[in-house]
Structure 1
Amino acid sequence: MPEYPYMWPHPRCGIVRFPCALGCGWAHDEDAFEEDREPIVVPVGASTQDINRIFNERSQQRAVVLRGRIETGIRDHFAAAHPGREIPAREAR
């Protein structure tokens, strides 16, 4: 489960930490406030439905990339620090 180690007004607020499930002290940090590097292009005259679709597609793309970074970090950590150990599974809610 993620942790939120820094609260407002700390300069690092927005950091979401995913600690090792085995409690070894390692963690993968993500900045929830990091801005998207790609501009969102909305055509002039786009309908509300078009704008909604554009933002939903971008959100889904960003979620896939974010999840990939987190899962890769965790897998790499387990391979290096806990070779042969299975990553504990948890049920998605």
Structure 2
Amino acid sequence: MKRRNFLKLSAATAGATFLPIHTLRAQEEKLSPDDPQAKALEYVEVSQTEGERCNNCIHAKGDLEAEWVGCNLFPGKQVKAEGWCKVWAARG
């Protein structure tokens, strides 16, 4: 193997090694109601509105049966499944 090819392969492998760790770390971060964006959207961890919860919102993603779910409005963070914010919209 030529040195140039070895260096290219090494750089690609090193970058790919850290990608899954970063992805898992981002998924584990839970949104705090004190977060500035959460406050702006009036996010709460327990919905006071009948039938409106984060896990049945169009913005929710991932395992909707889990205690914490992903949200398109808060990239890299998870919201409480029974939470709510003012941008809630019913899943179609």
TM range (shorter): 0.3 to 0.5
Larger Rg: 2
> TM-score, normalization: structure 2?
0.33
> TM-score, normalization: structure 1?
0.33
